[in-house]
């Protein structure tokens, strides 16, 4: 950097050259140069930190541990930062996820930016990053607190996406409740069911997934703030922590709690682990649903061809008129990332050595990516595929008429063995099931037509659509 392009500041290690107009300080600059790889720290984390620092400043003033004028200056600076667009906010928060695993450098990035801006707004107050903005706090309790806050925000965005897909599937369930088709097990023909019944299974899976997420969500409300360095709460003023929780609860609309074990809060991140486990379960179910739709829509003439999917974009650069199941493919790729993130989070959560886990930054980055891509691809799947999905009833009828497994309806009448012989004969000789049944002499045409009631085989009257 040319001399006019930087200023010199000092920290406990020595002097550091910092870009002249940057609001950050020496620790941020060191981190910026020491850890240049990978994705940038999510801005959701930065905004959570800003809300946390504002709540801390207010609380420290209220309990008498911070002069009112300094607390107010910190609050004013934070309000200005929170009002910035993401693009403008990013300019002073340049650090990467792959830094110290405690998130210390991001905590100090926030402390430095807030302090420098507060000093610009209020010259002479001499607001310090560590002594004032970070008062009564440590990176070791602020970063996991921010982790849980953004995790809750991410879940808040995922839940409506699941609900929306459920609603779109219910439309198809109800419309095709009595549309009979071939069932399949082991990728082989099985007894009939309706497409509506099949879809009801998808809906039930997603309703269960949503229930798991909602049941686990309160575990994320337990905040580590107040534990400071190792969980003992050293340097945190009495009453500060409780005040912070109340203020954060007002900001985010959730009942955050601080009456928790801080030794657990700093060294373990089990709430994130179990919640991401629910994400993984959702991802697994989404993979199955997307793959089912993808295969049932295969063709349109050389595959199953039972479903017609919307043509959202040209499917091929060389084959005119091709339509691909792109939304389903996006879902399945998102699932692959989620399953990979689950491995990262599980490993990271195991690394709570002694009083602190030092994989915090990568853990929350993986968590946020999973929540984001699940919410996005689920919404796209609902709007761009399920909404416009229709059934090819003629194809379903043709496949059903040609199926051998409807012979199961004959089994109670003529016995399992004789029914199996009829099915095997039809397959071997390339005839219809009816032809083989009549040829066997075990069934009359009148009996066959009476017993071979596809709708009755579905037990449609014994099943109910999902509500």
For the annotated catalytic residues, the residue numbers are 186, 316
Rounded to whole angstroms, the Cα distance separating 146 from 400 reads 55
Instruction: Give helix 104-121 / helix 26-34 axis angle, nearest 10°.
Output: 140
Collect contacts of 59-62 with beta carbons under 8 A, ≥24 apart: 59/239, 59/240, 59/241, 59/243, 59/244, 59/247, 60/135, 60/136, 60/237, 60/240, 62/239, 62/243
- Token pair of 366, please? 């993986």
Q: How many residues does the chain have?
A: 467
- The Cα–Cα gap between 431 and 323 comes to 34
Q: Pairing state of beta strands 6-10 and 180-185?
A: unpaired
In 10 A of CB 394, how many CB atoms? 10
Backbone angles phi, psi at 29, to 5 degrees: -60, -40
Backbone angles phi, psi at 111, to 5 degrees: -60, -45
Contact 97, 365 (CB under 8 A): yes
């Amino acid at each position: 950097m040319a001399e006019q392009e930087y200023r010199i500041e000092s920290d406990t290690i020595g002097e550091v050259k910092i870009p002249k107009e940057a609001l950050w300080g020496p620790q941020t600059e060191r981190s910026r140069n020491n850890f240049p790889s990978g994705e940038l720290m999510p801005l959701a984390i930065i905004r959570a930190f800003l809300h946390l620092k504002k709540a801390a400043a207010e609380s420290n003033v209220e309990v008498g541990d911070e002069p009112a004028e300094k607390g107010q200056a910190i609050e004013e600076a934070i309000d200005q930062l929170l009002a910035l667009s993401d693009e403008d906010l990013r300019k002073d928060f340049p650090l990467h996820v792959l830094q110290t695993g405690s998130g210390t450098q991001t905590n100090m990035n926030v402390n430095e930016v807030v302090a420098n801006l507060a000093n610009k707004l209020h010259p002479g107050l001499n607001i310090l990053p560590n002594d004032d903005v970070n008062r009564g706090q440590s990176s070791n309790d602020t970063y996991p607190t921010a982790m849980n806050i953004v995790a809750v925000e991410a879940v808040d965005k995922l839940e409506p996406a699941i609900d929306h897909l459920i609603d779109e599937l219910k439309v198809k369930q109800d419309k095709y409740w009595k549309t009979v088709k071939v069932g399949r097990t082991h990728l082989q023909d099985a007894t009939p069911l309706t497409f509506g019944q099949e879809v009801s299974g998808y809906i039930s899976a997603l309703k269960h997934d949503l229930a798991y997420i909602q049941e686990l969500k309160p575990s994320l409300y337990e905040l580590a703030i107040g534990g400071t360095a190792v969980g003992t709460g050293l340097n945190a003023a009495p009453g500060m922590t409780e005040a912070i929780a109340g203020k954060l609860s007002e900001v985010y609309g959730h009942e955050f709690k601080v009456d928790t074990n801080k030794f657990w809060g700093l060294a373990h991140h089990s709430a994130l682990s179990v919640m991401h486990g629910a994400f993984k379960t959702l991802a697994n179910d989404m993979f199955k649903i997307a793959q089912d739709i993808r295969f049932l829509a295969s063709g349109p003439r050389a595959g199953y061809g039972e479903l017609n999917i919307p043509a959202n974009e040209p499917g091929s650069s060389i084959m005119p008129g091709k339509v691909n199941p792109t939304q389903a493919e996006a879902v399945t790729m998102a699932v692959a990332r989620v399953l990979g993130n689950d491995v990262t989070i599980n490993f990271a959560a195991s690394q709570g050595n002694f009083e602190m886990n030092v994989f915090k930054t990568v853990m929350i980055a993986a968590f946020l990516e999973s929540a984001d891509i699940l919410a996005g691809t689920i919404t796209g799947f609902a709007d761009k595929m399920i909404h416009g999905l229709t059934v090819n009833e003629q194809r379903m009828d043709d496949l059903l008429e040609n199926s051998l497994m409807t012979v199961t309806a004959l089994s109670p009448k003529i016995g399992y063995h004789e029914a199996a012989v009829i099915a095997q004969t039809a397959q071997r000789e390339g005839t219809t099931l009816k032809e083989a049944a009549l040829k066997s002499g075990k069934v009359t045409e009148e009996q066959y037509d009476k017993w071979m009631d596809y709708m009755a085989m579905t037990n449609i009257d014994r099943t109910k659509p999902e509500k």
